[in-house]
Amino acid sequence: MKLLEEKILAEGHALNESILKVDSFINHQVDPQLMYEMGKDIADHFRGQGVTKVFTIESSGIAPAVYAAQELGVPMVILKKQVSKTLKTDVWQTQVTSFTKGVDYELTMAKNYISENDHILIVDDFLANGEAATGAVRLIRKAHATIAGIGILIEKSFQPGRQKLEEQGLDVYSLARIGKMDVDLIEFIHE
């Protein structure tokens, strides 16, 4: 997506070969028009595939997931990283390792927001090692629902996430694919 690539080049900051800071428009301050355009683009890619719900992992994927869900006319569900006092029973959980933050967390979803009849689109902000998306996939499969695919805002294509997901037979659609990154260097892959 040219619009996202331009925004990354204008406002994003590669801190090193693996960390991209996009807090001025994605994960601290949010550009709502960009979020709408990204959500719409992801929805357009998966339109007509029978998506019944859009899932995202808190928190940076929420805005584009809402717009994707709105475009598809389906509900959006937020998978929780933090233990909630109101989600005590009847939940699906799986452990996920965040390489960026260096922590493990329990990804949690209330069982009443998914059924075996659901066909889920997962939307997330970044794809690097694929751990968060793989955790979401595990939760969806525990509920015996199916997965339409995974919509990603920014993919670090030099890391193994896409391969991990595609090996599971999943359709991965990324709006911006970074092939190489370092301080003051961001190179995109164009298919």
Nearest to 154 by CA among 171, 173, 168, 167: 173
| Averaged confidence pLDDT in the chain | 93
Tell me the whole-structure pTM to 2 decimals.
Answer: 0.94
**Predicted confidence (pLDDT) at residue 42 exceeds the cutoff of 90:** yes
Q: Would you say 16 is a known binding-site residue?
A: no
Which is nearest to 40 in space by CA: 59, 50, 54? 54
- CATH (residue range 2-188): 3.40.50.2020
Neighbours of 172 (CB within 10 A): 21
Cα→Cα distances 107→57, 73, 80, 135, 174, Å: 8, 25, 6, 7, 22
Reported confidence tier of residue 97, pLDDT bands at 50, 70, 90? confident
- Residue 7: the pLDDT is 97
- CA distances (Å), 78 to each of 9, 10, 42, 113, 148, in order? 29, 30, 17, 10, 17
Q: Is residue 189 within 8 Å of 157, Cβ to Cβ?
A: yes
User: What is the reported pLDDT for 83?
Assistant: 66
Here the tokens at position 91 are 């939940």
Q: Is 80 annotated as a binding residue?
A: no
Per the CB < 8 A criterion, the answer to whether 71 and 43 are in contact is: yes
129 among the known binding-site residues? Answer: yes
Asked if residue 156 belongs to a known ligand binding site, the reply is yes
- Mean pLDDT on 110-120: 96
The answer to whether residue 102 scores a pLDDT higher than 90 is no
Output the pLDDT for position 38. Answer: 98
Is 131 assigned to a binding site? yes
Find out whether 112 is annotated in a ligand binding site.
no
Residue 5 marked in a binding site? no
Give the C-alpha separation, 149 to 69, whole Å.
14
- On the question of pLDDT at 142 being above 70, the answer is yes
Q: Which residue has the higher pLDDT, 94 or 2?
A: 2
Nearest of 167, 177, 156, 79 to residue 123 by alpha carbon: 79
- Per the annotation, does 71 bind a ligand? no
The pLDDT value recorded for residue 133 is: 95
What is d(CA 165, CA 149) in angstroms, rounded to the nearest whole number?
Answer: 10
pLDDT tens for 62-96 read 999 999 999 999 999 999 987 666 666 688 888 88
